[in-house]
Structure 1
Amino acid sequence: MAIHAPEVNKTFFVYGGDTGPQNRYLLAMISYYDHDKHLVPKPTVVRDQRGVDDPHDNPSITIDSEGYIWVFIAGRGRHRPGQIYRSNEPYSIESFEQIIEREQTYSQIWQVPEKGFFHLLTLYTSGRELYWETNSDGKDWSPEPADELQKLAGFGGHYQVSRVRGDTIGTAFNYHPDGNVDRRTNLYYLQTTDFGKTWTTADGTPVETPLDNRYNAALIHDYEAQGKNAYPNQLLFDKNGHPVILHITAFGAAPVLYNAPRAWKVTRWTGEEWVDQYVTVSDHAYDEGAFYIHEDRWSLIAPALPGPQSGFNGGEIGVFETTDPGNPENDWWQLKRQVTRESPFNHGYVRRPHNPVDPFFAVWADANSKENSISRIYFTNSRGDRLYMLPYEMKDDYAEPILVNPPVPPEGENTINYYR
């Protein structure tokens, strides 16, 4: 949902919003944070969703090798198409042109150096099934994806998270027994290093696609046998290029006591085997956070602390860290900092920009999880000690993000520079 462009030192981000707290008239929007100027411009409406009130129609983003910004807007199932848009100028959000309208859902679009676009998406061909396509320059997208795209997995339905690192593209996904999304379970992993020509497991074992059976070589955890649900949250690669998967497990989807614990877990490939490490717990299975692998630590910025709408999606944001990553004997990560506190609404769906740069290291929104309300966008730096809110209304073309709960600068340091 966000990507940093070092050429202009801006983090571009997309989101779906509406025209007011009581309206569900969706707009697909884009803006950016200018790291040099500490400013955000008024957002641009990439697409007016023309009365659609279903937030499944949210956008995702990538930037091509020439600096053009691409926005992929999701459709809904097979009855409402999605769209692909491209900016009219490099690194500009002034205007966009529609490239194609077609069936596409849950786009995860990556740029692979010297190869082009690698697009992982979902089609409702028989439930939620996983497909991929490639495109060298953004031209000639398939108008009928279900007929021309290549299927990755289709046995009941799936949700996935993906990541690119150099030539390696990985995807981690679950499956939906009998197509029931409330029973989503198991954890699978596949990767390709040749732009989709072949797919393998983490140890390099070739796998024939599409996967059509729940018991296959990509299976990491048989959570179904344990009576657990699984919610893939994020995929990263460690310094050795090994996949690391953040996910939540629970005994069911409903936010009731007997489905607890809702455990955040990190599952990593060591080069020889998959090992697990617990991070913390949440009070809702749909909580989502932003995961990072630093040189000296691993961290999670997530709504895993109790919020004002207890038992509902989201909560208060915390930063959880470990300096002993991947050690299954290190039972829990440490809560290093509480980012938000005494909030009127739950914060949720924390997103990690691609190639994040401080202070725009994680971005999310708040809202009342029980009823319609205003929703505001926030971002924080990597340590979680500088929290900003984007202005809800903008009279001018540009504005500074609003510093929330400002930290106390170290003695002798310039306050303005420290805050920024």
Structure 2
Amino acid sequence: MPFSRPTNLDVGSEPLLASVQYRAEVPYSGLWYGNLGYYQGPAATFPSNMQPMALYDATSNKTFFVWANGYSPAWATIGAYNHATGEIVDVNRVMDLTDTDGHRNPTIHIDSAGYIYVFAAAKNSPIWIKKSNAPRDITAWSWSPSIPGNCTYSQPHALAAGEITVFHRTGPDYSWSYRRSTNGGASWGPEVRVVSPANPVVDGVYAQTASRSGTVHIVWTVLDSTTQLRKNFWYAKSAGGVAWTRADGTALTLPIDARTGGELVFNSGADQVNTQDIQIDSAGNPIILISHGQNPGAWHWKLVKRVAGTWQAYSVGAVGDRQFDNGGLILDSDTLFRALLPTGAGIAGQDGGNIEEWLSTDAGLTWALNRTLTADPLNHNHVKVAQNGQPGFRAFWSYGNPSIASPTIVKFLDEVRGVDALRPGNPFKRYVLPTLNGVALPEQTLTAAEPVTVVLSNSGIVGTP
């Protein structure tokens, strides 16, 4: 199939662009994205409220995962990890995005028949959708009708058999809404607004959702545009997305007022707060990972859950130094919790760091640093935990230099072999460049220990870490 025109990021030399022909590409790079210094760095799995980006499928015994690669414009890219062999067995391009804005990063869903859906939106745009042509096959895709409107942050769920419910932020008033398909994405029902700000000129909603057994949970913060501060967070839940309540069953009316209608779960006081991840335990209770702090200053990580009818926040013990240090939460059981946090030393004063694993054996009441998963010179960030994850591929994240726009890569946690870079399990043909300035080149097989950026020079192909 045709490929996008390569950029300086790919080849490192503008005059050679016209002579480069790409085929058989395997785009194992990652996106770098920045927003005027507000946040920046490796962002293939950015941001925290774009969920899920990875999910485990028991029928195929594979974890399917999506990210944005490092091309310009970026691609929504999908990979598959085979748990039987412990290998990345396939990577494919799903759709071209229109730019390198990390808000276009993809999310993923698999329906009961095994068809895979990849969603991509941006800041206030329709949500583009591609559906696999065959169940559990990531090699061929077709467009499905887009979800219309000014959408950001897609969050797909299966709340009932035969349905796909996609939550997202809605502009121009920064509400949080959903649309539902009952026919495999062939059409989408009307927008249902779940949470709305009373004063959208000032307030904007930032929400995350998680579901289990048909019940969806939503937590949200409110950004005050006059101060650019996100404070406090609230909660609501619904069996199926129709009738909404607080945790104690008190009924709520849609749309829920963002500041006064929901259940206040965490009062951040003078601090800002970011919701990082939500997991659901076997009893259907939401377990919420947050960070709170001030810019500049320390950001403290906490585990929030409901105990004896009240919401409690327990210190994880980890401390970061940036608002957009984004981690993930793994529930190995109802008592064994792990938080993967980018709180280890890295490039100071920048988003991310090295990944630390913090462990709780008492359902999140107390925590201790269990191990440091990475010890790399650049920064890791934006941890995404696989939905229904299994050993071998429990989480993945972005890695690179947050200081300057540069190529990044994607790493994942293999609980048997440790942290690995995203690459197939065998030597592979990464790029085939049949001609350079009209001169035929041999096919190149790259087997570096880490993914490489392929650049062109007049002498041929050079691999650089």
Q: How far off its partner does 1:312 sit?
A: 0.9
Determine whether 1:9 maps to 2:55.
no
Partner SS, residue 288 of structure 1: coil
SS class of match (2:386): coil
Q: What secondary structure is seen at the aligned counterpart in 1 of 2:387?
A: coil
Give 2:192's aligned residue.
150
TM-score, length of structure 1 as denominator length: 0.83
Within the candidate set 298, 301, 304, 2:343 is matched to 304
Q: Give 5+ residue unaligned stretches, structure 2.
A: 1-52, 198-202, 432-444, 452-465
Instruction: Using the TM superposition, give the Cα deviation of residue 231 of structure 1 relative to its aligned residue in structure 2, in angstroms.
Output: 0.4
Matched letter for residue 98 of structure 1: W
Deviation digits for residues 112-162 of structure 1 (CA, Å, limit 9, x no counterpart): 342521211111121x220012222324434xx8xx301111212111121
Judging changes above 3 Å, is the alpha-carbon distance between structure 1 residues 231 and 401 closer, same or farther for their aligned structure 2 residues?
A: farther
324 and 74 in structure 1: CA distance in 2 versus 1, 3 angstrom threshold? same
Equivalences for 1:168-247 in 2 at 5 Å? 168-178=215-225, 182-193=228-239, 195-223=240-268, 226-247=269-290
Give the secondary-structure state (helix, strand or coil) at the position aligned to 1:372.
coil
CA distance in 1, matches of 2:112, 2:241: 20
Q: Partners of 1:400 and 1:356 in 2: how far apart?
A: 28
Residue matched to 1:130: 176
User: Which region of structure 1 is more displaced relative to structure 2, 385-394 or 238-247?
Assistant: 385-394
Q: Summarize deviations over 1:167-223 as a string: whole Å, max 9, x none.
A: 21111110112476x311111111111x11101111111111112351234221232
* SS of corresponding position for 2:282: coil
1:73 pairs with 116, 120, 140, which one? 120
Preserved contact between residue 389 and residue 401 of structure 1 (Cα < 8 Å): no
The share of aligned pairs that are identical, in percent, is: 26
Give the strand-richer structure, 1 or 2: 2
Maintained 8 Å contact 1:39/1:401: no
How far residue 365 of structure 1 moved from its aligned partner, in angstroms, is 1.4
AA aligned to 1:339 is L
Shift of 1:261: 2.6
Secondary structure of the equivalent of 1:89?
coil
Take 1:34 and 1:345, find their aligned partners in 2: how far apart are those partners? 28
SS of residue matched to 2:176: strand
1:5-404 aligned within 5 A: 5-19=57-71, 24-50=72-98, 52-77=99-124, 80-101=125-146, 102-103=148-149, 104-126=151-173, 128-142=174-188, 148-155=190-197, 156-178=203-225, 182-193=228-239, 195-223=240-268, 226-251=269-294, 254=295, 256=296, 260-279=297-316, 280-295=318-333, 296-307=335-346, 309-327=347-365, 330=366, 333-341=367-375, 343-382=376-415, 386-391=418-423, 394-395=428-429
Matched residue, 1:414: none
Measured in 2, the distance between the counterparts of 1:117 and 1:66 equals 12
Counterparts of 2:331 and 2:448, CA distance in 1:
26
Provide the C-alpha distance between the structure 2 equivalents of 1:138 and 1:399, rounded to a whole number of angstroms: 39
Q: Which has the higher contact order (CA 8 A, sep 6+)?
A: 2
Distance 1:347 1:316 in 2: 6
In structure 1, the gaps of 5 or more residues are: 405-420
Tell me how far 1:43 sits from its aligned partner.
2.2
Conservation of the 8 A alpha-carbon contact between 1:242 and 1:270: no
Amino acid at match of 1:334: A
Letter in 1 for 2:249: G
Please say which structure displays the higher CA radius of gyration. 2
For the residue of structure 2 that corresponds to 1:141, the secondary structure is coil
Alignment-mate amino acid for residue 389 of structure 1:
A
Distance 1:386 1:115, change over 3 A: same
Moved >4 Å (runs of 4+):
396-404
> Does the 8 A contact of 1:42 with 1:394 survive in 2?
no
For the residue of structure 2 that corresponds to 1:236, the secondary structure is strand
1:370 alignment partner, SS class: coil
Structure 1 vs Structure 2 CA RMSD: 2.5
